[in-house]
Structures are given as structure tokens and as C-alpha cells.
Amino acid sequence: MKRYKRPFVIAEIGCNHKGDMEIAKKLIKLAKDCEANYAKFQKRNPKELLTKEQYDKPHPNPMHTYGKTYGEHREFLEFSIEDHNELKKYCEEIGIGYSTSVWDVTSAKEIIPLNPSIIKVPSACNNHMELLQILRDEYRGEVHISVGMTTHEEELNVVEFFEETDQAKTRLVIYSCTSGYPVPFEDINLLEIVRLKETYGNRVLEFGFSGHHLGIAVDIAAYTLGAVWIERHFTKDRTWKGTDHAASLEPSGLWKLVRDLNVTHKALNYKKNEILEIEAIQREKLKYKGS
């Protein structure tokens, strides 16, 4: 009997589509070809999410901006709810799950009627209690929440908030995460997965790992430590214009990650018998038989 649930891989396309629907669909198809379980996007209402000062400021990295101000940059990359409906339908057509992160109340209210099986809350918004209440009370799917740049008290507040309606055990998935792009290995802090499991193991549905690091080695360790959901940013070309591409996996990396997670899942078993069938012939041939 397996101790480990099968892993689920989320290809976080986010805004790596560059505001282009055809690129978004190509990335969905690439994620499907890599055998990821979900393609995930982001939904924001920039004028609700940002203060006027934040909206009107120049983008901090001029090489990667799509507008004169940060607000214009975010507007350029934003898909409409009709676009998201089209993306969801395309995901369904080719057989991959659709999901999105919501960053504000308006976005949550727009996405909920699409009825995705998962809606994600990014680390930046996990203390937005009005947003969480809408997802708790008006949505019936799983709510996945990252806890990067989050205190232990803020984590507890999220779990207790869902426990108020007895929904944490059935709907809430907590992701270990470090909010940096990219994150150096010493700051990934994989043992936070163990801490989260020890603290909330009987209180939430499952655990995940949202990685912003380079390579795929530590994702296998994250799964082994108990993260059933593995989320990685995904792009076709890490040199593309935009801020998330550098911390993303290209198709070859995502394919290898899915492959390695699946074979790790197969390997995480106890022996069915003290001497396995595959060992019996070798035992007969090689085992020391004494004098």
C-alpha cells in the first residue's frame, strides 16, 4: 500500500503569455504535452489592486515593461473574463485542468462563475480577508493558498478562517513558498513543508510547494517531504520579455520534472515481501550460503 499520494503538477503560465491569446494557448498545449495536470493563469483588476501611486509609477525594470507605468504594464498583460472562459474551454478540449490565481475581490467574483476546480490565492493576498471570504462562501472548489512572505500568525488566521465553516479539511491546500524571483537554494527552506504538515496536517486537505528556483532537483525533495501539489512557473523561452520568465521552466524542464515526480511516486513504497520476485534469482545466484 502506497504511503504517498500521486503528485499533481501545475504549470504556472501566469502572465508569461505576454498578453497574447495565441501564445497562451500554445503554452497550454506545451504544458499538456509535458503531462502537467493543470495550466494556471492570473486574474487581476489593476485599478482595484493598486493604489494610484503604485499604478502611476514607472515599472521598476524598464527592459521588461509593457507600458509607461506599472499600472499600464499590468493592464496590457491582463486577460478579460471572456478570455479566461476561452482558455478554460481550450484546456477542457485538450484534456488539461484550468486554474487561475485571483488577486482581488473583482477578479474572484469574475472567475467563480467559470467554476474551475481550483482557485489559487497568491502569497501577496493571503491576508486579504474579504477575498478569502468570497472564495470560502461563494465558491465550492478547492482553494489553494501560498504562504510566502507570511508570518505563522497569518497562516493560522487563514486556516482558522476556513475552519469557521468546517471547510478547511475538505477544500484548503497550503503551499510552502519563498517569494523571490529566482530564489537561491538556501532560501527555499524545504523543511517548512514538514513544519506545515506537523502544524496543520489534520486541519487542511493537502499541502503543496510553489517554487521560484532554478532547476528541478528540489521539487522531488518537496514531494518526498509531503507536498502533493508542485507548482512551477512555465514559459516557452526564458529569455522572453517579462519578469517571470527567468524563474520559469521551459518545456524540456517541465517534462523532466513531471517524469521524475511520477517515477519517484512509483518508487515510494515499502517492500511487498521480504524478498522481492526481482531479487529471488539474484539471491539464489549471489547470496552467501556459508560453509
For residue 38, the SS3 value is strand
Distance in Å from the first CA to the final CA of the chain: 38
Residue 3, domain member (yes or no): no
Q: How many angstroms separate the CA atoms of 230 and 289, rounded?
A: 47
Which residue carries 499590468 as its cell?
A: 74
Residue 2, domain member (yes or no): no
Structure confidence at residue 127 (pLDDT): 98
Structure confidence at residue 144 (pLDDT): 98
Structure confidence at residue 77 (pLDDT): 94
Cβ neighbours around 70 below 10 Å, total: 19
DSSP string, 126-164: TT-HHHHHHHHHH--SEEEEE-TT--HHHHHHHHHHHHT
Count Cβ atoms within 10 A of the Cβ of residue 117 and give its class: 0-12 exposed, 13-18 middle, 19 or more buried: exposed
> Rounded to a whole number, what is the largest CA-CA distance in the chain?
86
Residue 291, domain member (yes or no): no
Structure confidence at residue 26 (pLDDT): 98
User: What CATH number corresponds to the domain at position 34?
Assistant: 3.20.20.70
Residue 13, domain member (yes or no): yes
In terms of residues, how long is the chain?
Answer: 291
Enclosing domain of residue 262:
8-286
Q: How many angstroms separate the CA atoms of 265 and 151, rounded?
A: 31
Note down pLDDT in tens along the chain; length 291 residues.
Answer: 457 899 999 999 999 999 999 999 999 999 999 999 999 999 999 999 999 999 999 988 888 899 999 999 999 999 999 999 999 999 999 999 999 999 999 999 999 999 999 999 999 999 999 999 999 999 999 999 999 999 999 999 999 999 999 999 999 999 999 999 889 999 999 999 999 999 999 999 999 999 999 999 999 999 999 999 999 999 998 888 877 888 899 999 999 999 999 999 999 999 999 999 999 999 999 999 886
Residue 242, domain member (yes or no): yes
Residue 240, domain member (yes or no): yes
Structure confidence at residue 291 (pLDDT): 65
Q: How many domains does the chain have?
A: 1
**pTM summary value:** 0.95
Q: How many angstroms separate the CA atoms of 267 and 194, rounded?
A: 20
Continuous segment of H or E residues that includes residue 49: helix 46-49
Cβ neighbours around 265 below 10 Å, total: 17
* Contact between 266 and 247 (Cβ < 8 Å): no
Residue 267, domain member (yes or no): yes
Structure confidence at residue 240 (pLDDT): 86
Residue 119, domain member (yes or no): yes
